Amino acid sequence: MADIVIRNVRKSYGKTEVVHGVDLTFEAASFVVILGPSGCGKSTLLRMIAGLEEISSGEIAIAGRVVNKLEPRERGCAMVFQNYALYPHMSVAENIGYALKVAGVPKAERRARVEATATTVGLGDYLDRKPAQLSGGQRQRVAMARAIVREPKVFLFDEPLSNLDAKLRVQMRHEIRRLHQRLGTTSVFVTHDQIEAMTLADTLVVMNQGRVEQVGRPSEVYARPRTLFVAGFIGSPPMNTVPARITAPGVATTAAGWTIEFEAADFRAPFGTDVLVGIRPEHVRIVAHGGHDLPVEFTEEIGTGRLHHGHLAGVPFVVHEEAGPGEARPARLSVQLPASHVHLFDPETGLRLDAAPTGTATRALSAA
């Protein structure tokens, strides 16, 4: 079991800095998911842990040992690549067993371990095939087996599921989770898919433009997004954010004259300040009458319910209605925003206007 500590790590290509001082601690045996849009530097961070990319400044320690100067093979990490990176000229068995062969494991033992691992990922019958003769899902399994067979201290995954079709992706996601349950190996998993991230993570790290935006359990990140970016990135459809001004304790008023109540104890938003009021589409309540009036521009059916799209105070506003007897295409809705689900953000900095700023994300952000 190995923990991973990342201290103020930066990465520059030439003069361009792409990772701007990341501080993170991953507990031993945890499953960490790094989530962020394409190009935010998540692969770069992962590859610095792996040793495939030099660390420009800062320090990475695996199991208490600083690895900055170590070769990839000395770090005890196994990696699953997005395109699988299987050796095309080797059979499945040779692919899986290559690391053992390099390590000088005797042939008989190697064979036994390769077979055992291949069986656990369901490849027992394909040992003699070449990668070109396998389906996408099977290649993915070979890549997994290649990582598992070494019994590494850390698993690193770089978007390993993004080349699979939707059904297989879910299936492999479950297998990865099951595998972690069984082996308990510290895992770092990079993805841009929020569903994958939410479902897999013990600890979720949200990155944007080379910075860490928030670290926490997935439910925490969903419930208390620390920045506007996180609020918009996690949840589907994303959180509505409406400009408003604080007009009374626990009350914000929009330009359209909507008064929105919030839990005054949770936020530090003095009288007169401009804020962005956030509320998730699924938390907006539809009432028969007595709520705010929202003209509906169009409605989408999504199986579990409907999404009603409109505008509020000049910005798009979406309401998620649970499947039910409601009107399929209403012209207007009467809606309420429950105070317990309202978030406030600073329109300038994008930060959550928490009453007591705490947590790693705040540190990371202020450091940046």
CA-closest candidate to residue 78, choices 143, 149, 155: 155
> What string marks each residue from 23 to 42 as x (binds ligand ADP by CB under 6 A) or -?
-------------x-xxxxx
Least separation in angstroms between residue 234's CB and ligand ADP is: 16
Does residue 83 interact with other proteins by CB under 8 A? yes
CB 187 within 8 A of CB 196: no
Q: CB-wise, 18 or 264, nearer to other proteins?
A: 18
Least separation in angstroms between residue 83's CB and ligand ADP is: 13
Does residue 54 interact with ligand ADP by CB under 6 A? no
Least separation in angstroms between residue 162's CB and ligand ADP is: 11
What torsion do the CA atoms of 86, 91, 94, 96 make, to the nearest 10 degrees?
A: 50
13 contact choice in ligand ADP, other proteins, Mg ion, none (CB below 5 to 8 Å, kind-dependent): ligand ADP
* Cα angle value 212/236/310 (rounded, 5°): 120
Least separation in angstroms between residue 73's CB and other proteins is: 4
Name, in order, each residue with C-beta under 8 angstroms of 228's C-beta and a sequence gap of 6 or more: 241, 276, 278, 345, 350
> What string marks each residue from 149 to 168 as x (binds other proteins by CB under 8 A) or -?
-x------------------
Does residue 44 interact with Mg ion by CB under 5 A? no
Cα–Cα dist 368/214, whole Å = 13
Q: CB-wise, 44 or 117, nearer to ligand ADP?
A: 44
Cα–Cα dist 142/173, whole Å = 15
CB 95 within 8 A of CB 146: yes
Q: CB-wise, 43 or 194, nearer to Mg ion?
A: 43
DSSP letter for 36, please: -
CA-closest candidate to residue 17, choices 212, 205, 210, 206: 210
Does residue 73 interact with other proteins by CB under 8 A? yes
> What string marks each residue from 1 to 40 as x (binds Mg ion by CB under 5 A) or -?
----------------------------------------
Cα–Cα dist 78/185, whole Å = 11
Q: CB-wise, 72 or 250, nearer to other proteins?
A: 72
| List 24, 33, 43, 206, residue binding Mg ion (CB under 5 A) | 43
Does residue 78 interact with other proteins by CB under 8 A? yes
Q: Sheet containing 77-80: give its strands across.
A: 77-80, 154-158, 186-191, 31-35, 203-208, 211-216
Does residue 71 interact with other proteins by CB under 8 A? yes
Interacting residues toward Mg ion by CB under 5 A = 43
